[in-house]
Amino acid sequence: MTFDRIHLDRPTSGLQRLEGCFGGHAYDLHRHETYGVGLTLYGVQQFHYRGCLRASRARQVLVLHPDEAHDGHAGEGGAFAYRMLYLDPASVSQALDGASPPHVVEAVAYDPAIAKVIEEAFVDFPQPLEPLAIDATIGRIADLLARRSDGGPRRGRGRVALRAVRLARDFLLAESHRVVGSDELEGVSGLDRFTLARHFRSAFGTSPHRYQVGRRLMCAQALIAEGSPLSDAAAAAGFADQSHLTRHFSARFGVTPGRWAALSRRS
């Protein structure tokens, strides 16, 4: 019986996701033109990289640089599973105000911040990520790689562009019933998507995508409390389907929409 399986989504706007599981040999020596930033879910993932045999264990993060040769196989006689984000270096550079893509010396490390970003990027996998979620993922990973890089501290970002982010916030509120594109927010705010994401987080403590999803969840929450069927509430709040709503609702409120409906009826 083989454990081997792999699922790769389509690359979109500088980001691609992969989820895989292997019980032995996984990959021969190869290289990518992208960053590979991954999270080992269980087991031991071994790979040759920069002249050494590396091992990534459960909950460890690995960072592979563009054009660096590596292979992959299970270590210590068992299967391993992992999730991987492949990021276009040009998008990473753009997210860092045009700075050179960061160079991270440590290939494997416990990095809870990066692990959290990866987990969030896979909440609906293999359903495609929304445009603002892609921007947020690239921006956060770029910042976290820069913090771990050997290139020294980056320059300060200056004052928050409050007028621009308020325009973006108001637009997200007005269009909370649908998926908003990154180019739309660029047009509304006058900022490029990564600059906007940084300033938005500084002003409101979250990314444009999470902000809009939060508004949609609050809408769904109110509709469910009023007695709307879950499928109707999901559609009205801009979610692809009921399962899409359930995943986000549970992550935000700690209960499923069905449980919320039952609790609301008792009040």
CATH code assigned at 224:
1.10.10.60
Same domain, 141 and 238: no
Nearest to 61 by CA among 79, 78, 83, 76: 83
33 part of a folded domain: yes
Range of the domain at 249: 211-266
Same domain, 22 and 144: yes
Same domain, 115 and 15: yes
Contact 18, 84 (CB under 8 A): yes
Kindly report the three-state secondary structure assignment for every residue of 232-266. HHHHHCCCCCHHHHHHHHHHHHCCCHHHHHHHHHH
CA 22 to CA 84: how far, in whole Å?
14
Contact 8, 122 (CB under 8 A): no
Helix (H), strand (E) counts: the chain:
10, 10
Q: Where are the alpha helices (DSSP H) in the chain?
A: 89-95, 112-121, 131-148, 162-174, 182-189, 193-204, 208-225, 230-236, 242-253, 257-266
Same domain, 221 and 195: no
Neighbours of 91 (CB within 10 A): 23
**Residue 106 CA to chain centroid, in angstroms?**
21
261 part of a folded domain: yes
Contact 150, 103 (CB under 8 A): yes
pLDDT at 267: 46
Per-residue pLDDT of the chain (267 residues; tens, 9 = 90+): 457 888 888 878 789 898 989 888 888 888 888 899 999 999 999 999 999 999 999 999 999 998 898 989 999 778 999 999 999 888 888 898 878 788 999 999 999 999 999 999 999 898 899 999 999 999 999 999 999 998 755 554 556 788 898 899 899 989 988 889 999 999 999 999 999 988 888 777 678 988 888 888 888 988 988 899 999 999 999 898 999 999 888 887 778 899 888 877 754
pLDDT at 266: 58
Letter string b/e over residues 137-173, b meaning 16 or more CB atoms within 10 A of that residue's CB: bbbbbbbbbbebbeeeeeeeeeeebeebbebbbebbe
Nearest to 214 by CA among 264, 248, 168: 248
CA dist 175 → 149, 172, 181, 244, 246 (Å)? 38, 5, 11, 19, 21
Same domain, 19 and 124: yes
User: Sheet containing 44-49: which strands, arranged edge to edge?
Assistant: 25-30, 70-74, 44-49, 52-57
CA 256 to CA 263: how far, in whole Å?
11
Same domain, 79 and 167: no
Same domain, 11 and 112: yes
Nearest to 108 by CA among 140, 75, 135, 137: 75
**Considering its fold, how many domains does the chain have in total?**
3
Residue 124: CATH number of its domain: 2.60.120.280
- Provide the whole-model pTM: 0.76
155 part of a folded domain: no
Same domain, 42 and 88: yes
Same domain, 131 and 230: no
Same domain, 12 and 135: yes
Same domain, 20 and 48: yes
Neighbours of 45 (CB within 10 A): 28
